[in-house]
Every structure is written in C-alpha cells, then in structure tokens.
C-alpha cells in the first residue's frame, strides 16, 4: 500500500498541473462502467496513464522467490545464457533480468526458446558484447533501444533497455521505488508475464515478483494489472485466449468481466489491423481445439476486426477434420499456410472486398475469402467425375482452398473427388513439351498446344505412364493430324 501510494505520488509529480481526474476512485469490485468508458476515450493519454494506477487490480507487494536449487535442473544452454549475461551485467555495473513468458514457463517447466531480457543501462554496447560472448547474430534498433540475438542453438533473445532501475534496499524483500522498470512491467498483459529473473551473480536464482505473478502461475490464473488493460490494447484479448488455451489457464474473475466488457464496448475501429492479424496468426499457428472454439463462443474475438462471426456447432466437426487433414498432408510435406486455412474456416461468408484493407498479400486475401467464392463448386462435385472434368472444375485453386472445400463439404462423393484431386491429380504433369513435338516435325503453331493438351488429358485419365508413352501418343496424334 505504501509503495502503491509512492507510485501514485511520483505520477502526480510527473503530471503536475492536472487537477481533475475523470476516472479516479472506481470501486475495485466492479469493472469499467459505460459512463467511465466515454471518459476513457475522451481523456488525453496522460490522463489514461494516470488512471491505470488508480485502477490497478494488483497490489504492488514485491516478493522474492528463490530458484537457485531448481536452476541446477535447467538445460545447460539456458544456464550458460544466464551466466554469461549476468557476468557481463556485473562488468557493466547494470542489472540484467529475464522476464515475460520465459520465466513463467520456467516455473511451469515448459520448454521455451524465446527469452525477453531487460537491461538497466545502455543496450547498444551491451548487446554487441553479449553477442560476441554467446556467438550469435545480433541486431539493434537505435530508435526503440531494443535488440535481438539469434543463437545457432535455436534460442532467440529479445533485449530491451530500461533506463532506471527499481531500488532495492537491504532486507529480505526489496523495497521499491517507482521507476521505468516497474512501469514497463505495469504495461504488460498479465501478471504471470511480469516476473523478473535476476541474472547477476549476486542475485543468482532469484525471481522478483511485484504483482503476485508466481501465485497466479501456481493457480493457473490470468489476471490483468489494471482495469483499462484491454482498452489500452485490445490485442491482449487474443493473447489472453491463446495463453488460456495453451497453458490450460483460466481468467481471474475481474479479468474475465473486463475482457467481456471490452468486447462489447471498446472502440476497435482505431485498432491496427496488422497487430490484430499478428496475434491471430500466433493463435492459429496451433491446432484449433474444441477448448479454443468454446472460448471463441464465449469471447467473440473477431470483433477486433469489426467482424461478427458466429462460432457454429458444425465448426467443431470441421476443425476435427481439418486438423486430421493438416497432420496427414504435413506428414507428406505439403506446403500449407496453416494459420490462414484455420482462419478461413471461420470466415466462410467473407468476401474479398471486406478484407482488402487488411494489408495481406493478394494470395493470402484470396485464401481467406475463398469459401464464399468457391462454395458454388460443391454441388457440381457431388457425382462421379472424369479426372479431366475434375481438374477443370478446380482449376487454379490452391491446396488451402481445396482443403477448405473438403472440410466444409461434409459429404461422401464430394470428399472423394476433392481428395482424389489433391492426392492424385493436382501435381500430375506431362514430361514432354513443344520442342519434342517440333522434333517430330510439327511446325510452331496452335497444333502444338492442342496436342500437348490431349497428352495431358490422357495422362490425367491414367492412360500414359511415362515420357516414352507420352511421345508415342503424341506421335499418333500428329500422324492423325497429317
Ligand atoms: P509468451 O512469451 O508470453 O509465451 P509471446 O511469444 O507472444 O508469448 P512476446 O510476443 O515475445 O511473447 O512478448 C513477450 C512479453 O511481452 C510477453 O510475455 C508479455 O509480457 C509482453 N507483451 C507482449 N505483447 C504484449 C501486449 N500486447 N501487451 C502487454 N504485454 C505484452
């Protein structure tokens, strides 16, 4: 409480001159009320910022968690990264922490190769020296004071600079003064992602936990830090759902209420579509499980793209089939854009014009909007078809578009035709070309195209096996021509 007051006081100092605060003193028991919402959107960013603290859902009660014994069981490569970074920080007389999902996953004993590091000093020199010691490719962004190191072992280090540090005093628990580092943490999505693992030798094996994040990890709870979190950044809604499903976590009571409320009242028209798509891409990189579908029924996250998408009961069947097909085709090394395909299942009624502004490539737009465009083909596929007819019907469709028709069709004959096309016909090509025909004495002209097409059709029907048979067939056609 004392610390929280200090935090507030500093902000009052920082923002002195502001007399009235439109959003302060909200009871922690109720989520945002709609009358407060308009105040939120009408207020200036610094008012919004100030009110985050006033509307905090966490106690700033720092705790230290000792992990040094468990650290002996961490993978050698991880310990090496920790030690090298910690020693370098000691040399530079700054602090270095691991934070974010990596620390959360350490507590959960889940493998993670993406480390977020925070350095309380000049990052540019630090990153160069660290990359040198760890032996990786590195980059640094001068504008944002962030950087990245890629190690050949597959570890990816994202580094950020936090100029001032919190100031620990002697005693079992660090006392905290508000500073940039703490503010950084306060801007994070969920408490479970706010843990700081100390890397310097004098704090080796300690986790600093300011917002009871480790308890939430233990209880499997996702909790936002303040009640405006989802309004500040609605992409946290998608992040939350991804974490909940991926980790098997639940939303804390107020967080759930705030998330629902944000989905009903937030203004998503000002949200950057590319940020939303980035999160959706991560969400749909993994299989769509019944658990995710149930979550999406409860939390209509496509609202972030200003779309009303109903999660129909049949989607459960469609995704069960889709995931089985994906596994099957991926084993056979088909190159499939899985996240787009999963998303396309949801967007069955969306036309290309509706997504033109999303900044996707023409091909990606086409895949996402393909079902609305191609669904008419399904009725024509519901009968015995000659391979040539089948290829004509599906001409120009990508593998993703055909798999989408497959999972949407749900019928025997249609499925048979689509699978036959995917597995047998889609890649079937002829081995001869126009030059072969000219060598047989044919003059350049429309006949060449015509004969090649006839050879192709015969090959589709399974009448020709190899180049030799194709040449013989072409020769017969030429003779008939003459
Ligand atoms: P994680 O690392 O949590 O498993 P991730 O790979 O998506 O998931 P990053 O995108 O690398 O994580 O983000 C690293 C950390 O930055 C997260 O753990 C989170 O604390 C924070 N973060 C990322 N995006 C946001 C956001 N939109 N709002 C608040 N914090 C965020």
Regarding the beta carbon of 298 and ligand 1, being less than 6 Å apart is answered no
Greatest Cα pair distance, the chain, in angstroms, is 101
Nearest protein Cα to ligand 1, atom 8: 101
Contact residues for 31 (Cβ-Cβ < 8 A; gap 6+): 227, 254, 257, 258, 261
Report the predicted TM-score, pTM, of the whole model to 2 decimal places.
0.84
C-alpha 446/C-alpha 108 separation (Å) is 67
Give distance in angstroms: CA of 381 to centre of ligand 1: 45
419-472 confidence digits (pLDDT tens): 999 988 988 999 998 899 898 888 888 889 999 999 999 999 999 999 999 999
Contact residues for 276 (Cβ-Cβ < 8 A; gap 6+): 234, 235, 238, 304, 305
**What number does the ligand 1 atom closest to the CA of 112 have?**
4
Regarding the beta carbon of 213 and ligand 1, being less than 6 Å apart is answered no
For the ranges 39-43, 325-329, 354-358, 449-453, which has the lowest average pLDDT?
39-43
What is the arithmetic mean of pLDDT over 172-184?
57
C-alpha 94/C-alpha 88 separation (Å) is 9
pLDDT given at position 173: 42
* Residue 380, helix vs strand vs coil: helix
C-alpha 216/C-alpha 252 separation (Å) is 9
What is the arithmetic mean of pLDDT over 29-48?
53
C-alpha 292/C-alpha 304 separation (Å) is 17
pLDDT at 238 over 70: yes
pLDDT at 226 over 60: yes
What is the arithmetic mean of pLDDT over 326-352?
93
**What number does the ligand 1 atom closest to the CA of 275 have?**
27
pLDDT given at position 11: 37
Task: Sketch out the chain's domains with CATH numbers.
Answer: 7-53 (no CATH), 63-219 (3.30.460.10), 224-311 (1.10.110.30), 312-427 (no CATH), 434-481 (no CATH)
Nearest protein Cα to ligand 1, atom 30: 188
CB 371 within 8 A of CB 405: yes
* Position with higher pLDDT, 359 vs 73: 359
pLDDT given at position 386: 93
**What number does the ligand 1 atom closest to the CA of 194 have?**
20
pLDDT given at position 456: 94
Mean pLDDT of the chain: 86
Contact residues for 240 (Cβ-Cβ < 8 A; gap 6+): 189, 190, 222, 251, 255, 259
295-322 confidence digits (pLDDT tens): 999 999 999 999 999 999 999 999 999 9
pLDDT at 183 over 70: yes
What is the arithmetic mean of pLDDT over 222-244?
94
Q: Which residue has the tokens 């640094």?
A: 140
Angstrom distances, CA of residue 240 to CA of 215, 236, 258: 17, 6, 12
pLDDT given at position 186: 83
C-alpha 224/C-alpha 256 separation (Å) is 9
326-330: list long-range contacts, CB under 8 Å, 24+ apart.
326/287, 326/403, 329/399, 329/403, 329/422
Regarding the beta carbon of 348 and ligand 1, being less than 6 Å apart is answered no
117-147 confidence digits (pLDDT tens): 999 889 999 999 999 999 999 999 998 889 9
CB 115 within 8 A of CB 158: yes
What is the arithmetic mean of pLDDT over 237-247?
98
111-123 confidence digits (pLDDT tens): 999 999 999 889 9
What is the arithmetic mean of pLDDT over 398-413?
92
What is the arithmetic mean of pLDDT over 148-165?
89
> Other CB atoms closer than 10 Å to residue 453's CB: what's the count?
12
pLDDT given at position 37: 60
Contact residues for 201 (Cβ-Cβ < 8 A; gap 6+): 86, 87, 90
What is the arithmetic mean of pLDDT over 388-408?
94
pLDDT given at position 14: 37
For the ranges 28-42, 69-83, 196-210, 352-366, which has the lowest average pLDDT?
28-42
Give distance in angstroms: CA of 433 to centre of ligand 1: 53
**Helices (H), ranges, 140-234:** 180-186, 213-219, 229-232
Residue 6: pLDDT band with limits 50, 70, 90 = very low
pLDDT given at position 34: 56
Give distance in angstroms: CA of 193 to centre of ligand 1: 7
For the ranges 227-231, 338-342, 388-392, which has the lowest average pLDDT?
227-231
């Amino acid at each position: 409480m004392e610390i929280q007051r200090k935090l507030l006081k500093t902000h009052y100092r920082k923002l002195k001159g502001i007399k009235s605060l439109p959003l302060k003193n909200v009871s922690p028991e109720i989520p945002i009320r709609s009358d407060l919402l308009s105040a939120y959107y009408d207020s200036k960013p610094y008012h919004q910022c100030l009110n985050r603290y006033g509307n905090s859902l966490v106690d700033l009660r720092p705790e230290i968690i000792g992990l040094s014994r468990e650290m002996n069981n961490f993978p050698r490569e991880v310990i090496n990264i920790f030690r090298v970074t910690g020693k370098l920080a000691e040399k530079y007389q700054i602090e270095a922490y691991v934070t974010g999902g990596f620390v959360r996953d350490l507590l959960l004993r889940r493998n993670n190769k993406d480390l977020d590091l925070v350095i309380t000093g000049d990052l540019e020199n630090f990153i160069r020296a660290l990359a040198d010691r760890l032996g990786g490719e590195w980059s640094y962004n001068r504008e944002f004071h962030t950087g990245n190191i890629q190690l050949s072992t597959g570890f990816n280090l994202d580094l950020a600079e936090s100029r001032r540090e919190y100031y620990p005093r002697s005693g079992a628990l660090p006392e905290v003064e508000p500073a940039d580092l703490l503010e950084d943490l306060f801007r994070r999505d969920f408490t479970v992602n706010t843990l700081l693992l100390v890397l310097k030798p004098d704090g080796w094996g300690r986790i600093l936990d300011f917002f009871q994040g480790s308890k939430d990890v233990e209880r499997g709870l996702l909790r936002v830090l303040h009640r405006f979190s989802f309004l500040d950044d609605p992409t946290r809604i998608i992040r939350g759902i991804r974490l909940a499903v991926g980790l098997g976590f639940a939303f804390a009571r107020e967080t759930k209420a705030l998330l629902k409320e944000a989905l009903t009242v937030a203004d998503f028209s000002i949200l950057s579509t590319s940020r939303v798509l980035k999160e959706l891409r991560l969400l749909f990189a993994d299989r769509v499980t019944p658990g995710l579908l149930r979550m999406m029924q409860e939390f209509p996250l496509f609202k972030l793209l200003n779309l009303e998408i109903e999660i129909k009961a049949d989607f459960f069947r469609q995704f069960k089939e889709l995931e089985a097909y994906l596994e099957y085709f991926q084993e056979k090394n088909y190159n499939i854009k899985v996240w787009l395909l999963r998303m396309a299942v949801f967007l069955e009624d969306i036309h290309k014009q509706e997504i033109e502004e999303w900044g996707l490539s023409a091909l990606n737009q086409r895949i996402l909007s393909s079902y609305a465009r191609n669904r008419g083909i399904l009725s024509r596929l519901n009968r015995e078809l000659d391979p040539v007819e089948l290829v004509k019907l599906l001409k120009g469709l990508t593998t993703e578009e055909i798999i989408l028709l497959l999972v949407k069709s749900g019928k025997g004959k249609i499925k048979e035709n689509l699978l036959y096309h995917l597995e047998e016909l889609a890649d079937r090509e002829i081995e001869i070309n126009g030059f072969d025909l000219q060598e047989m004495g044919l003059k350049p002209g429309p006949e060449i195209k015509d004969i090649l097409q006839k050879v192709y059709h015969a090959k589709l029907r399974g009448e020709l096996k190899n180049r030799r048979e194709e040449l013989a067939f072409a020769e017969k056609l030429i003779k008939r021509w003459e």
